[in-house]
Structure formats: C-alpha cells, structure tokens
Amino acid sequence: MIRAVLIDDEIRLLNSLQTMLKRNCPQLEVVAVCRSADEALIKIKETNPDLVFLDIAMPGKDGFALLNEIGDIRFRIIFVSAHDEYSLRAFKFSAVDYLLKPVAEDELVAAVKKAEQTIFQEQTLRKSVEALMHNLKPQTNTQEKKLCLVTLAGFHVVSLSDIVYCEAEGPYTNFYFLKDKRICVSRPLVDFELLLWDDNFLRVHKSFLINLYHTREYRRGEGGVVIMSNDAEIYVSRRKKDIFLEKIKNIFKH
C-alpha cells in the first residue's frame, strides 16, 4: 500500500480527493488529512508517508514553506493548486505532478500511477542496497546472505537459506521455499545460476537450480533424482551428475 497524506485548507477539495482516490486507487491508503501546514508537519512526522498531495496557497504558512521546514523530504509530492504560476517552482521539489483545481479524476489517477511507479523503483533500489550491504558483512555461512526478488506486484527480500530450489518457466523463474511458498520473478533462471554459483546453488537440470543445503536424499539413476527438504523430486541431468555428487561431498561429511 502507498501511504498518503492530503493537505489543503479547503474541506470540499479534501472530501473530493478522498472520494476519487477511494474509487480509483485501491493501492493507496490515506493515513492523514490536514487543513494547515502546521498540522501537516506533525502528521507527516507521525505517519512517514510515501506520497503527499499538497496545496500551495494556504493561510499562514504555504506549501513551499512547509517543505522547506521539513528539509529532508523522503516522500513523493503531487501538488494540487488553483493557480498555475507556481508550477515551475513546484517542480524544483521533484514533484511527481502538478494538478489544477478543480481536479479532473482521470488526471488524478494518472498522477497516482506515476507516483506509484517512482515509489516502487525507489523502494526496490533501497531494499536491493540493504541486501547488498548485508551480504558485504563478514559471514561464516553464505546461506546467511539475502536476495531481493522483484515481482510484478512488488518485491521480496529473502534469505538464501530459505530458498529450496528455483524452476525455469520460460523467461520467468519460480522460487520455492520450505513453507509451501512460491515467488515468480520476471528474470530467467540463468541469471540466478550465475548470481548464486558461489553460494552452494547448483543447476542440476536445464529447468532446476537447487540449494544444495536443502538436499535430503539422492536416488541413483542415469542422472538420478534429488529429494529436497520440501519433498520436491528434482531430476539431475546426466552431464550434471558428477559435479552434483562432488559438491555434495564437499558440503556434507561422508
């Protein structure tokens, strides 16, 4: 959910915005509605929003003064104003959009979609950096590392130790976990084969990349079959059999 704060001294405009957002933007949650800059300053600190709808010309302290007082702005801004002469100054604050009153419903929806894309990109980048910084810390076990999986709906930060295996599905990769959980990522399996090679993951078949630490049983055959910790049966290709057995010997005592 995108957490949003609405700021305007006109109660009718605030009611209209809330109605249109509720009708068209289920991905957005209005966490505060404010009628002055001073009230907004308090609510923004309390709620830590992702998006702020901000009027500029308000009695007392205007929208620009509010932003200057906040200083370190960590949210996206959609300006809502009855005047277009502020637009150039508004975009100096990296505004997502500038809507003129009365706000057209289709323009409001388009602005929210634009903000959603920007917020998602920023969150994904931040989580990827957090995962990277975690992975750079000295660790005795590579399975303590984390991975940021970007999906169509958002992203997941997961521990490598929780991944049982990955399965190719055309240009997508399905990640399987111990607790009957599956995450579909729009990247091919080969990307993760290269990324996880040094972390005791092995591509044992053209369709499967397994976490060797989750190997529970191996059944001999032309290539053989690996039984994973979640009971999944994974076929090993004939040409991958030797490297699989060698890696297993290096990981587990025998």
Instruction: Map 42-95 to HEC letters.
Output: HHHHHHCCCEEEECCCCCCCCHHHHHHHHCCCCCEEEEEECCCCCHHHHHCCCC
Show the domain range for 201: 142-251
Distance CA 213, CA 20 (A): 51
Q: Within this chain, do residues 34 and 108 fall inside the same structural domain, yes or no?
A: yes
Residues 116 and 12 in one domain: yes
pTM above threshold 0.85: no
Distance, CA of 155 to CA of 55 (rounded, Å)? 32
In a domain, 130, yes or no: no
DSSP-based three-state secondary structure for 207? coil
Backbone angles phi, psi at 114, to 5 degrees: -65, -45
As for how many domains the chain has, the answer is: 2
110 and 154 inside one domain: no
Same domain, 221 and 147: yes
133 is a domain residue: no
pLDDT at residue 17, as a whole number: 95
- Judge whether 136 lies within some domain: no
Pair (8, 119) in one structural domain: yes
Cα dist from 140 to 93, 199, 200, whole Å: 44, 12, 13
- Which residues does 70 contact at the CB level (< 8 Å), separation at least 6? 41, 44
CATH number at residue 101: 3.40.50.2300
Same domain, 24 and 117: yes
Gap between the Cα atoms of 226 and 5, Å rounded: 52
Asked if residue 201 is part of any domain, the answer here is yes
**What is the reported pLDDT for 43?**
95
206 is a domain residue: yes
Statement to judge: residues 119 and 162 lie in one domain? no
Is there a single domain that holds both residue 158 and residue 119? no
Q: Are residues 171 and 236 in the same domain?
A: yes
Q: Are 195 and 183 in contact (CB under 8 A)?
A: no
Q: Rounded CA gap, 131 and 190, in Å? A: 20
> What's the rounded Cα separation, in Å, for the pair 31 and 47?
7
Last residue of a domain, one of 71, 97, 124: 124
Position 135 in a domain: no
Return the pLDDT at 240.
92
- Of 71, 89, 124, which residue constitutes the final position of a domain? 124
Between the alpha carbon of residue 238 and those of residues 99, 210, 244, the distances in Å are 62, 16, 10
Same domain, 232 and 196: yes
- Residues 107, 205, single domain; the answer is no
| Widest distance between CA atoms in the chain | 80
**6 domain residue, yes or no:** yes
Q: Looking at residue 156, which CATH number applies to its domain?
A: 2.40.50.1020
Which segments in the chain show pLDDT lower than 50?
140
Separation of alpha carbons 236 and 217, rounded Å: 12
Find how far residue 155's CA is from the centre of its chain.
3
CA separation for the pair 39, 33 (Å, rounded): 9
pLDDT at 91: 67
Shared domain check, 95 and 178: no
